Structure 1
Amino acid sequence: MVVRDGLASHIGRRDYALAADGGNIVSRLTSGPASMPGSPETHPALVLLRDNLHGGRCWVIEGTQAQVSICTPERIRLRSVTIDHVPQQVAEDPKQAPRRMRVWGAVDGRENMAEYAGYLASTSSVLRDGPVITQGWTFLHLVDFEYDLFGTNHVQTFPLDSSVWDLKMDFGVFVVEILDNWGSSRCMPGVTLYKC
């Protein structure tokens, strides 16, 4: 029953971050080294975008600021973000799990830039700075959320804020930031991006 319920929420939904389906890491917008010495990978964070039926994909990061940037194979109107961390019951160090996270979308294209400018003019409560690493790109804050280390499911999905969803903007590049964790070194978990 629990397995069926857990799978039911994901069956039939395409994961736009999945590497096998064209998702990739944008190295210049991602924390840490661009590649491991002797590794054929484009970036060590690519592990986050691999399909893993055992769950708990994790990229260990050093430092106080951590972010990963994901390029989807096509522009999407993001609906929700799913975080897949190692279940607390089997994790070597459960405190590596992220706690507070933030997601940004890179704004580009004439229509999106116009929509973004109108949104900024209409509200004063929006975060305007973008993630720590921007490389000159313009970003829209999509959602903040807290991963529940003690939740009943280690795979947790977070919908976009309704004010952002109502903008009907689409994005091809996303940044996921870890703002803090549960008390140990930072571990960026697997990330899944779903559109409407």
Structure 2
Amino acid sequence: MSGKPKLRRGARVFRGHSEEGSGSGGLGSVLPKHRDPDSHGLTQSRKIVISTVSLVTLLLIGLGNHMWLQETEFPRRSSHLYAIMAEYGSRLSNYQEMSNLVNYILKKLREDQVQRADYALKSAGASIIEAGTSESYKNNKAKLYWHGIRFLTYEMPPDIILQPDVHPGKCWAFPGSQGHALIKLARKITPTAVTMEHISQTVSPSGNISSAPKEFSVYGILKHCEGEEIFLGQFVYNRTGTTVQTFELQHEVSESLLCVKLKILSNWGHQKYTCLYRFRVHGTPGEYP
């Protein structure tokens, strides 16, 4: 009988101990949960403080670097940059000046070199009077045949000398070294000068310009191209000179003329023909015909 109560008491003690163990386990499970908000808040505060200090430190470092660049490196770099800009600006200015000069030269080259009105220009109304002009040179190589019948020739007409298209082969050829062309001008003028133009030896397909005119004379014709011939001058075209050569007339006329005769007296050695590229007549305009 007396042993049973002891067993019960031990059982109670065991149960009590187990309850305490469970109670202590419950308290341990509660205490961490109760301390977690404090530790989490402390961690967040530390993060904020560390972030703030880091940001302030970076700002101070950046400010120091900025002041150092401003005092030392940046002025040197900016002055170097300004020097480069000034140098390239000067080069750009020189390039612009050079470009303007080149454009001016090209413009002058494109312009007419004589800078005088041409009253023997076909497009302005001048023409060749064939009745008072030499026959053209007949070249069999400049003909096309079909079954032995000639149907096309490449001979240039006399009025080619009144046109500005001066290219190799674009000339009027007449037999031998002497010939003439009667020109009706675009309007009545008092002639003052004439211009003869020929291709240069460097662009000639044959390598020479022996067919170029050498000595020539100019006459004015009165009474609508059928009257008396008035001598205006005799000249020599220099084949080694410039391609465009202007000659001032040696004799003046007292009245306006509508027609001029060009007489070729010799060439530079070609035996078969003489070739004329362009002939111009300059003067003071008179009354319209």
TM superposition score normalised by structure 1: 0.72
Q: Secondary structure at the match of 2:159?
A: helix
Check the 8 A contact 2:220/2:259 in 1, yes or no.
yes
**How far apart are 1:47 and its partner, in Å?**
0.8
Q: Which residue of 2 aligns with 1:51?
A: 164
Look up the equivalent residue of 1:10 and give its one-letter code.
V
1:69-84 matches, within 5 Å, as 69-84=182-197
User: Could you list the runs of 5+ residues in structure 2 that have no partner in the other structure?
Assistant: 1-104, 137-142, 144-149, 285-289
Check the 8 A contact 2:168/2:203 in 1, yes or no.
no
Look up the equivalent residue of 1:177 and give its one-letter code.
K
Q: Which of the two has greater helix per residue?
A: 2
Q: 1:147 to 1:53 in 2, by over 3 A?
A: closer
Q: Which of 1 and 2 has greater Rg?
A: 2
Q: Which of the two has greater strand per residue?
A: 1
Q: Which residue of 2 aligns with 1:22?
A: 125
1:4 aligns with 2:108: yes
Q: 1:64 to 1:9 in 2, by over 3 A?
A: closer
**Equivalent position to 2:266, from 161, 167, 180:** 180
**What does the per-residue CA deviation read over 1:81-127, in whole Å, with 9 as the maximum and x for residues that have no partner?**
10110112212231111100000110228xxxxxxxxxxxxxxxxxx
Check the 8 A contact 1:55/1:85 in 2, yes or no.
no
Q: Secondary structure at the match of 1:98?
A: coil
Greater RCO (Cα-Cα under 8 Å, separation 6 or more)? 1
User: Could you list the runs of 5+ residues in structure 1 that have no partner in the other structure?
Assistant: 110-133
Look up the equivalent residue of 1:19 and give its one-letter code.
K
Q: Which runs of 4+ in 1 moved over 6 A?
A: 36-39
Aligned-residue CA RMSD in angstroms? Answer: 3.2
In structure 2, how many angstroms separate the alpha carbons of the residues matched to 1:155 and 1:56?
Answer: 17
TM superposition score normalised by structure 2: 0.50
**Equivalent position to 1:137, from 209, 227, 246:** 227
Q: 1:54 to 1:3 in 2, by over 3 A?
A: farther
- Identity across the alignment (%): 27
Q: Secondary structure at the match of 2:117?
A: coil
1:34-183 matches, within 5 Å, as 44-52=157-165, 54=167, 57-91=170-204, 92=206, 93-108=208-223, 137-151=227-241, 153-161=242-250, 164-165=251-252, 167-183=253-269
In structure 2, how many angstroms separate the alpha carbons of the residues matched to 1:84 and 1:107?
Answer: 26
